[in-house]
Structure 1
């Protein structure tokens, strides 16, 4: 039977779920795309930069004014909407420090700095993020930021020792890095919420989890529970996950795997089945389903099953391995068909 000797990331599992052969080409054959010269930061570089800025911002505030939770090593902080200008200065300092780390000769780098920090005429992306963060708190969001860039089975953003991978079952060991974990004490229980930053759109929905296509949030929730038990001796209540969208077209907050009774925002969105679940029991069933889907993928990988089987047609449009897998020839010969979206 497969063992937990190799920890998997959510991204690896999602890659296999999209197309087993794509996973094989990237993670087993280690095929690489030829490098391209970018005039500006790539989406990945831009996302990483913003992650680092927000991490530095909250780390600074946590270190300065985080409150301790009695009987634990946990500290947490919640921003005060009346201190916006002070926070804006801390955020600008964090951005300047991180921009200095990556400053380079991209022709459009100065323009990107202006987009992040803003100008006299136009607010920056970071300022708009801060305003949304403060507005959420002013409207009654009671979770407090506690853990930042929590890594397990892989290095964190900084030089803290690498936490062991987390075994979620006898055959599933996972690794990852959680952007931020928020907590709130209700009665004698710690309620925790896992938050992930996304640049432009929400990462996934409950439907994606049910279909076995999305693993990041359910595995991070299960890992957080195990981490709190292992590190702090606390069995937390999982209140679900939230995607904080940095450059939203509309809503900057998308919930996932969150019971309607978890908080007031979830209750308001109770009819949005893609985001909110009916109960904590329903959430537990969804997380179990995700782990079972992940276990099946691990079993397939260890069994050497890598068919050319994209789950949706659009996956092939951005895939760099089309010339290797011969997807078009297989289509033309009628050997495979893919699912319509």
Structure 2
């Protein structure tokens, strides 16, 4: 309890407090008493990226609610997940109310007080939370232990109050009180724990004399080791040793025999004498003590008596019986028995089905299940609306698409101590959108040398406003802002470089015209271009089924010429992830689909190029045309020297539609196998721990339909 306010309301401390069975904090919600569940607080605080600070909890939860509501409104979100997200929003709203009341209670512990007042506030809060009402116990021993601990703790508080009566007016802060209480608590021992009797002690033969153990293992019982009678004087004879008063071989043997016999008396239950028969190719002779022992005592050989305590030995024996087909069940773990048929099935899955081409349900090929195929056909019917990234994900890895968009699996959230890549991308998009949209309202968009200084001041002002929407406050955040804005002296910021690039690299015939042009998504005024539409674009896929596909998305920027030719520009704030080859092979769809979509929306303009605008830091800002029509190469200026500018530009766009047609057919058939692309699996994937993709397996492929389809 005291750690929470004393150590700045850390997430881990608060969750630990709520997990305690002794804490019964309750709050009012809709006229009923509710408890804060630690698992809910733990999960949602992780998702909200809350680390510490009482002032960060509520803003963090409110920001998370905003993200969840945006996801609910997204057309990408299926109905089942939309309902789940709605329930999460309600849950977080309840958490906000509960944590607000919890913090109000805990804040009474803060501040400088006398020792007596600190203890009084602590007792008051413990009483309010029914701390002395111990939980239900199933074991009397645990109940007695906790009762003694609680009694000892309150006796300690009583003693502290009496001890500090001599300085009743001195005030200390909560940290000092916590330190004092912790030190005194550590000195209180109310019960000694049972000694661990499962330890293994390794010692020498001579050091073990007069000790006691249940079991004793004496290893290396071979001639020359036990007994060891070699002299330490290799250059003297036995007679010379005896004359010098040193230990002879007879003395050493007598001494070794004594320590060996004394060691045998150490074991209370059983002694194990261990000797190897050989060392590599060299045969070994067992110790003479072994011969003496076997003549005087009855003994057993290791393995003749069944050992029921060794898990490893049990697994070895069970494996031998499995190989002989003797068991219906196998105890290969220390839990419940497993059916032999289940074990053999798992072995066959790995050694037979997960080989060569993807052709079984164990690799996500579900086309032989009529029920699944029927369900997938309904799910991916002509009314389904797709985004370009959905096709890119499926093209690269159908299995990942299956986990994310059909099973709706999500990974546990992680704490991010700095702005995430997604937040960085969204931040840059918002800054640039506002910059160009406000210039557009004034009647001009293109940045020129004459208004460079004004444009830079304008975009920096917008950036400051966007930065203030975040609640980060640490050196990493300060450095990130400086990367965008520069230091005003020596370091040039990313935004200044961006403005210069806009002046230098935009081809003379093109001018920025549309920004954040949304297609098929809910319209958020002030966040998207005013020419955005909530209706998806329907593209013709030619003869056969499917005949059309509905596309939605958001175009970062569209530059247009005076004769109605346009170029799609897609901002990239991360790594360069697509090449012209990816467009040709059906792994990159954004640029071709957006060109076709804009032409579908406005038949009076023609798309002639698609470009990536790579914006990572002040030293890495580049723009290049990924695909373009060679007929208009002269209009591209310095951007026209790339491989993607081709004579068959129109054929290339149709090729993307052919890939889409093929992918939809595969989705309907239930073909959700892992990737067939060597070296394309990303370094980071949220499903890496449950994916069985192996680059080496691709070498075994025999050129099946699956290989050709992707």
* TM-score, reference length from structure 2: 0.41
What residue in structure 1 maps to residue 586 of structure 2? 212
* Residues 1:185 and 2:556 are matched in the alignment: no
Decide whether aligned partners of structure 1 residues 327 and 136 sit closer, same or farther in structure 2, where only a CA change above 3 A counts. closer
| Deviation of 1:132 (Å) | 0.8
- What are the Cα deviations for residues 122-175 of structure 1, in whole angstroms up to 9, with x where unaligned? 1111111111111124xx532111111011112356276752111112331111
Question: RMSD of the TM alignment (CA)?
Answer: 2.9
* Residues 1:152 and 2:519 are matched in the alignment: yes
Say whether the 8 Å CA contact 2:584–2:652 is kept in structure 1. Answer: yes
Decide whether aligned partners of structure 1 residues 324 and 270 sit closer, same or farther in structure 2, where only a CA change above 3 A counts. same
Q: 1:300 aligns with which of 650, 666, 673?
A: 666
1:147 and 1:271 map into 2 onto residues whose CA distance is: 25
1:23 and 1:219 map into 2 onto residues whose CA distance is: 19
Q: 2:622 aligns with which of 244, 252, 268?
A: 252
**Greater relative contact order (Cα < 8 A, sep 6+):** 1
2:437 and 2:695 map into 1 onto residues whose CA distance is: 52
Say whether the 8 Å CA contact 2:498–2:621 is kept in structure 1. Answer: no
What residue in structure 2 maps to residue 60 of structure 1? 438
| Deviation of 1:242 (Å) | 1.3
| Deviation of 1:115 (Å) | 1.1
Say whether the 8 Å CA contact 1:150–1:156 is kept in structure 2. Answer: no
2:595 and 2:602 map into 1 onto residues whose CA distance is: 11
2:552 and 2:410 map into 1 onto residues whose CA distance is: 22
Say whether the 8 Å CA contact 2:612–2:624 is kept in structure 1. Answer: yes
What residue in structure 2 maps to residue 141 of structure 1? 508
Q: 1:225 aligns with which of 599, 623, 626?
A: 599
Say whether the 8 Å CA contact 2:559–2:567 is kept in structure 1. Answer: yes
Q: 1:313 aligns with which of 672, 675, 679?
A: 679
| Deviation of 1:239 (Å) | 1.4
What residue in structure 2 maps to residue 164 of structure 1? 535
| Deviation of 1:238 (Å) | 1.3
1:311 and 1:322 map into 2 onto residues whose CA distance is: 16
1:128 and 1:268 map into 2 onto residues whose CA distance is: 18
| Deviation of 1:215 (Å) | 0.6
What residue in structure 2 maps to residue 46 of structure 1? 424
Say whether the 8 Å CA contact 1:206–1:256 is kept in structure 2. Answer: yes
Q: What are the within-5 Å matches in structure 2 for residues 251-270 of structure 1?
A: 252-264=622-634, 266=636
Q: Which runs of 5+ in 2 are unaligned?
A: 1-376, 541-546
- What are the Cα deviations for residues 227-267 of structure 1, in whole angstroms up to 9, with x where unaligned? 223xxxx2x12111111121376671110221233243646
1:79 and 1:331 map into 2 onto residues whose CA distance is: 52
Kindly tell me the number of residue pairs found equivalent between the two proteins: 315
Q: 2:454 aligns with which of 86, 93, 97?
A: 86
Say whether the 8 Å CA contact 2:483–2:494 is kept in structure 1. Answer: yes
Say whether the 8 Å CA contact 1:316–1:322 is kept in structure 2. Answer: no
- What are the Cα deviations for residues 285-334 of structure 1, in whole angstroms up to 9, with x where unaligned? 000000110111122112221112342334164223233333359959x7
SS of match in other structure, 1:89: helix
2:533 and 2:639 map into 1 onto residues whose CA distance is: 37
What residue in structure 2 maps to residue 326 of structure 1? 692
2:411 and 2:514 map into 1 onto residues whose CA distance is: 35
SS of match in other structure, 1:146: strand
Query: Once structures 1 and 2 are overlaid, which stretch shifts more, 106-115 or 198-207?
Result: 198-207
SS of match in other structure, 1:180: strand
SS of match in other structure, 2:616: coil
- What are the Cα deviations for residues 92-114 of structure 1, in whole angstroms up to 9, with x where unaligned? 11111211222334652222111
Mark the structure with the bigger radius of gyration: 2
Q: Which runs of 5+ in 1 are unaligned?
A: 67-76
2:435 and 2:579 map into 1 onto residues whose CA distance is: 28
Decide whether aligned partners of structure 1 residues 184 and 203 sit closer, same or farther in structure 2, where only a CA change above 3 A counts. farther
Decide whether aligned partners of structure 1 residues 251 and 92 sit closer, same or farther in structure 2, where only a CA change above 3 A counts. closer
* TM-score, reference length from structure 1: 0.83
SS of match in other structure, 2:608: strand
2:554 and 2:409 map into 1 onto residues whose CA distance is: 24
Say whether the 8 Å CA contact 1:4–1:167 is kept in structure 2. Answer: no
Say whether the 8 Å CA contact 1:18–1:312 is kept in structure 2. Answer: no
Say whether the 8 Å CA contact 2:630–2:649 is kept in structure 1. Answer: no
2:621 and 2:495 map into 1 onto residues whose CA distance is: 16
SS of match in other structure, 1:5: coil
| Deviation of 1:203 (Å) | 4.9
1:111 and 1:269 map into 2 onto residues whose CA distance is: 32
2:613 and 2:701 map into 1 onto residues whose CA distance is: 42
2:650 and 2:701 map into 1 onto residues whose CA distance is: 39
What residue in structure 2 maps to residue 272 of structure 1? 642
Say whether the 8 Å CA contact 1:240–1:257 is kept in structure 2. Answer: yes
